Structure 1
Amino acid sequence: MVGGAAASAIKAAGYAPRLIIGDGLRGDPDGVAYDRLIATCSVRYIPVPWLHQVKPGGKMLVTLSGWSYASGLALLTVTAPGAATGRFLPGYTSFMLARPHDRPLRPTLALLPGEERPSGIDPEIIDTWAGSWVAQLAAPSAERMGVGAEQILWDVSTGSQSRTTPRPDGGWTVVQRGPARLWDQVETAVRSWQAVGEPHQEGFGITVSAARQRVWIGTEGGPGWDLPI
Structure 2
Amino acid sequence: MKDPEELHRLLLKDLFAKGALRTPAWRNAATAVHRHDFLRGGFFRQVPNSQPSAWGPVVDGWPEWLEGCYTDESLVTQIAGTITPTDIRGEIMREPTSSSTLPSLVLRMLEDLLVEPEMNVLEIGTGTGYSTALLTARLGDEHVTSVEYDNDVAARAQEALGRQEMYPWLACGDGLLGYAPRAPYDRVIATCGVRTVPQAWIEQTRPGGLILVCAGGWLNASELARLTVGEDGTASGPLLGGNVSFMLARPHLPPPLGLLPDLTEGDERKTALTANPLTDWASRFVVQAAIPSAQRLTIERDGRTEEVLVDVSSGSWAALYADGDQWIVRQAGHERLWDAAEEQLIRWHADGQPPLTHFTLTVTPEGQTFTW
Both structures adopt the same fold (TM-score exceeding 0.5): yes
| Worse-matched range after superposition: 57-66 or 141-150 | 141-150
Q: Which of 126, 136, 140 lines up with 1:11 in the alignment?
A: 140
What is the DSSP-based 3-state SS (H/G/I as helix, E as strand, rest coil) of the residue aligned with 2:361? strand
TM-score by length of 1: 0.85
Q: Secondary structure at the match of 1:40?
A: strand
Q: 1:212: how far off?
A: 3.1
5+ residue gaps, structure 2, are 1-128, 145-167
Q: Tell me which residue corresponds to 1:188.
A: 343
Asked if 1:216 corresponds to 2:357, the answer is: no
Q: Tell me which amino acid in the other structure corresponds to 1:178.
A: G
The AA in structure 1 aligned to 2:173 is G
Question: For 2:259, which of 95, 104, 108 is the aligned residue?
Answer: 108
**Alpha-carbon distance change, 104 to 204 in structure 1, aligned in 2, over 3 angstroms:** same
Residue 225 of structure 2: aligned partner: 74
Partner of 1:225: none
**1: CA distance between counterparts of 2:238 and 2:291?**
21
Aligned length, in residue pairs: 214
Cα distance in 2 between the residues matched to 1:198 and 1:130:
9
Higher strand share: 1
Task: Give SS of 1:185's match.
Answer: helix
Distance 1:114 1:8, change over 3 A: closer
| CA distance 1:142–1:175, shift in 2 (3 Å) | same
Q: Which residue of 2 aligns with 1:139?
A: 291
Q: Measure how far apart 1:158 and its partner are.
A: 1.6
Q: 1:114/1:80 Cα in 2 relative to 1: closer, same or farther (>3 Å)?
A: same
Matched residues in 1 for 2:225 and 2:137: separation?
29
Partner in structure 2 of residue 220 of structure 1: none
Partners of 1:151 and 1:75 in 2: CA distance: 32
What is the distance in 1 between the residues matched to 2:313 and 2:364? Answer: 26
Tell me the equivalent position of 1:128.
Answer: 280
1:200-222 superposed Cα distances (whole Å, 9 cap, x missing partner): 210100222223322111xxxxx
Matched, 1:176 2:305: no
Instruction: Provide the residue aligned with 1:165 in structure 2.
Output: 321
Answer 1 or 2: which has greater helix percent.
2
**1:59 Cα offset (Å):** 0.6
Q: Is the 8 A contact 1:160 1:177 kept in 2?
A: yes
Structure 1 unpaired stretches of 5+: 218-229
Instruction: Measure, in 2, the Cα distance between the counterparts of 1:174 and 1:166.
Output: 9
Which of 172, 179, 191 does residue 40 from structure 1 map onto?
A: 191
- C-alpha distance in 2, partners of 1:101/1:171? 35
C-alpha distance after superposition, 1:173-209 (max 9, x if no partner) = 1111111111111111111111111122101002222
When residues 61 and 15 of structure 1 are mapped into structure 2, their CA distance, relative to the original with a 3 A threshold, is closer
Check the 8 A contact 2:318/2:330 in 1, yes or no.
yes
- The alpha-carbon deviation at position 82 of structure 1 amounts to 2.5
Q: How far, CA to CA, are the matches of 1:202 and 1:74 in structure 2?
A: 9
Q: 2:234 aligns with which of 83, 87, 99?
A: 83
Say yes or no: does 1:56 pair with 2:210: no
Q: Residue in 2 aligned with 1:152? A: 308
Q: Once superposed, what is the RMSD of the aligned Cα atoms?
A: 2.2
Q: Are 1:75 and 1:88, in contact at CA under 8 Å, matched by a contact in 2?
A: yes
Larger radius of gyration: 2
Secondary structure class of the residue paired with 2:348 = helix
Equivalent pair of 1:124/1:149 in contact (CA under 8 Å): no
Cα distance in 2 between the residues matched to 1:97 and 1:41: 6
- 1:38, 1:62 within 8 Å by CA — same for their partners in 2? yes
Change (3 A) 1:15 1:102: closer
TM-score by length of 2: 0.54
1:227 paired residue number: none
